[in-house]
Structure 1
Amino acid sequence: MRIVICFCFCLFVLSIKAQSLEEIAVKQTIETFFKGFHEQDSLVLKSVVSDQVIIQTIATKQDSTFVRSENYSDFLKHIVSIPATTMFNEKLLSFNIQIDGAMANAWTPYEFWLNDAFSHCGVNSFQLLKTSNTWKIIYLIDTRRKSDCK
């Protein structure tokens, strides 16, 4: 009986470790995305996204909420064209990662700072797909607001 309990415990510990390793890999993919974002490096950004990545924002205009889509190549052009004199930093406040097989979701609340001044806050929701032992971002949607950030 003790052997069975020890065996089950070992399997449980190994499954927790495997899951946490996958969570670490998902987190590293997102951190690499933001490294490329902050360094305005399109090659780094491209290395962690799928060829069919979808980028959207939940926007509000005149009390109307809607989804705004952005073409990924336009997103890259915008990021790399930001002048060197403009400082920007998206600070991720936490990670909530869920994984089911080859699919992962990461929920990352953030604050966005522009030239060392608070600009806005919100949440990023990343959907990732694992292929060939690599996690790739397939979908990113975010919210943006200037108040109620804590």
Structure 2
Amino acid sequence: MRELFCCVVLFALGAIGYTQGSNASNEEAKNEVKQVIETFFDGFHKQDSTIIKNTVADEIVLQTTGRNPEGKTLFKTEEFSKFLKSIVGIPETVKFEEKLTSFSIQVDRTMANAWVGYEFWLNDEFSHCGINSFQLINFDGEWRIIYLIDTRGKEGCMD
């Protein structure tokens, strides 16, 4: 009976340790994903295509959705090379900042999703806000962005 009790206690301790280790590992992965996204925006703000390229996979997909002034839904896919050229080509006289306001990150094995709130400011004036939805894959220990879609609007932003 004593041996059975010892086995049960050891099993329970092992299960608790495994669960805690798993959560710690998941938290570590979430932090790594957040760091990749923050690095992406660091490159964005510095207008540095090399920094941005180091955060994305070769076949990244960029899309955006919103509504036009008449309320009709818009949906657009953008070529990554054109996106990079547009960021690098912003004149020095233009000040822009995408302020990240919230993060919700889920990770499962080699896949992660990050729902990131933002406000976009142009020359110190509020422009628009929305959500960036990132999909990332862990390629042999390195998280890379494979997909990014964002929403854009002016209403409900500063709540």
Report if TM-score (shorter chain) is over 0.5.
yes
2:77 equivalent to 1:72? no
Of 92, 96, 116 in structure 2, the residue corresponding to residue 88 of structure 1 is 96
Matches within 5 A, 1:96-107: 96-107=104-115
1:108-149 Cα distance to aligned partner (Å, 9 max, x none): 011111111111100000001111210110000000001111
Determine which structure has more spread, i.e. the larger CA radius of gyration. 2
Separation of aligned partners in 2, 1:16 and 1:78: 40
Of 32, 36, 43 in structure 2, the residue corresponding to residue 29 of structure 1 is 36
2:143 equivalent to 1:135? yes
In structure 1, list runs of 5 or more residues that go unmatched. none
| Equivalent position of 2:21 in the other structure | 14
* SS of equivalent to 1:147: coil
**TM-score normalized by structure 2?**
0.91
* SS of equivalent to 2:102: coil
2:117 equivalent to 1:125? no
| Equivalent position of 2:5 in the other structure | none
* SS of equivalent to 2:155: coil
Separation of aligned partners in 2, 1:138 and 1:8: 35
* SS of equivalent to 1:33: helix
Over the matched positions of the two proteins, sequence identity in percent amounts to 49
Of 43, 50, 64 in structure 2, the residue corresponding to residue 43 of structure 1 is 50
Number of equivalences: 150
| Equivalent position of 1:59 in the other structure | 66
Give the C-alpha shift of residue 46 in structure 1.
0.4
**TM-score normalized by structure 1?**
0.96
2:120 equivalent to 1:112? yes
CA RMSD after TM alignment: 0.9
Give the C-alpha shift of residue 32 in structure 1.
0.6
Separation of aligned partners in 1, 2:81 and 2:24: 37
Separation of aligned partners in 1, 2:57 and 2:66: 24
Moved more, 4-13 or 132-141: 4-13
* SS of equivalent to 1:94: strand
* SS of equivalent to 2:156: coil
Give the C-alpha shift of residue 55 in structure 1.
0.5
In structure 2, list runs of 5 or more residues that go unmatched. 1-7
